[in-house]
Amino acid sequence: MRALVVVLPLLAIACASSNDREPLGPRAVLMAQVDAWNRGDLESFVSGYLRSSQTVFAGPDRVHVGFDDMVERYRQRYPDRDAMGMLHFEDLLIREFATDHAVVEGTWVLERLTDEPWGRFILVMRRAADRWRIALDYTTLEGDRTSS
């Protein structure tokens, strides 16, 4: 009986871990991006994107095709820590629609000294070589929370 008391909880944890692991993959990538951004580490932040000439970032200014073009956009828009501010994601909704694709919806907020821009995003994430990465990022700029 004692063995059963020990084994059953371990079995439940093992089953939950294997079932819950996949939905956490995309979320883990996003949380790592937030951590990197808030450290001012743009290179680690962009590692959450698929390094491909087909990676797409559609933002308020234009559509950027290719990983290198997208990274250059980030470098120009966020040249220093003050411009980067502190990033927060809110209202994340992650839907896997295949074993290797997920769609993520959410809200982003940047807390900076002079403003607090925010917007929404929709991401298409792809798992390649057992790593989840953002293949398509559609991000809007909705406004400034400090001006409300």
DSSP-assigned letter for residue 133: E
pTM (2 decimals)?
Answer: 0.82
CA–CA dist 72, 68 (Å, integer):
6
Beta strand pairing call for 143-144 and 131-139:
unpaired
**pLDDT at residue 38 in the model:** 98
Q: Which of 124, 147, 120 is nearest to 137 (CA)?
A: 124
The pLDDT tens digits for 28-87 are 999 999 999 999 999 999 999 999 999 999 999 899 999 999 999 999 999 999 999 999
CA–CA dist 12, 33 (Å, integer):
31
Cα dist. 43→22, 74, 143 in Å?
25, 10, 26
The pLDDT tens digits for 105-147 are 999 999 999 999 999 999 999 998 889 999 999 999 999 998 8
Residue 17 belongs to domain spanning: 2-147
Please give the tally of structural domains in the chain.
1
CA–CA dist 129, 42 (Å, integer):
23
Can you give the CATH number for the domain in which 75 is found?
3.10.450.50
